[in-house]
Chains A and B, each alone.
Chain A
């Protein structure tokens, strides 16, 4: 088990559904990330929050909507997804974040992911 907790572990949703993925960490990390990973591919960055503010949005379609209610929580709201959005969604956190004028490097710690299937 990792120190980054993601729920649910599995999710099956129809294209008209609205659902949310949740991520929680209590390591005091100031940066949190959403990644999407397709089979046999490396993770693809979707969003980065630094100090609870959206820092990076990698041109992700608006049917994915991130939210960072506080420094420990990160949500990903899903609406009107397509079957090609089926993937493993990974949350990660790191100590580093945008502090002052530059990012502080530190390794990412990943959750176990949510396996999403869109039907």
Chain B
């Protein structure tokens, strides 16, 4: 059965700390891995990763995929209170005729001032 596992489930750190969130997966026909940030409403797209070892970066956030070990990490440096959110990982997998996005349970990140 396809599955995506995120760890930790929750994390509390102080402003300025660096955090690393993990996403491991076991799926057939892997196509891509996506990271989203969800505050109160819509999940907002952060990164889409398809190739191993290529870091994607956006400001203080970065992410990398390891397709051999089947995991991805999301790093946030110099955290701010606005980074508090649930971070969702999703893995896209497909056959020719169908497509699935398998979601992890999310990591709830709380940044204390």
- Chain A interface (Cβ within 8 Å of chain B)? 2, 4, 41-43, 45, 48, 56, 88, 90, 96, 98, 101-103, 105-113
Contacts and interface: CB of A to CB of B under 8 A. Distances in A.
A43 B42 CA distance: 10
B105 A2 contact: no
Contact of B41 (A102, A107, A108, A113): A113
Contacts of A105: 31-32, 48, 50, 92, 94, 99
Interface string B84-113: 000010101010111111011110000000
A40 B98 CA distance: 28
Interface string B69-89: 000000000000000000010
A103 B99 contact: yes
- For the residues of A in contact with B, the DSSP-based class is loop
B8 interface: no
B34 interface: yes
Contacts of A88: 41
Interface in B25-56: 31-32, 34, 36, 41-45, 48, 50
B94 A102 contact: yes
- Chain B interface SS verdict (over half): strand
Q: Which 4 A-B pairs have the closest CB atoms?
A: A42-B103, A103-B99, A110-B42, A112-B41
Contacts of A41: 105
Given A101-B96, A102-B94, A103-B99, A2 B32 contact: no
Contacts, number: 57
28 contacts: A4-B42, A43-B43, A43-B88, A45-B101, A88-B41, A96-B99, A98-B97, A98-B99, A101-B96, A102-B94, A102-B96, A102-B97, A103-B99, A105-B32, A105-B48, A105-B92, A105-B99, A107-B45, A108-B45, A108-B101, A109-B45, A110-B36, A110-B43, A110-B44, A111-B42, A112-B41, A113-B41, A113-B42
Contacts of B44: 2, 110
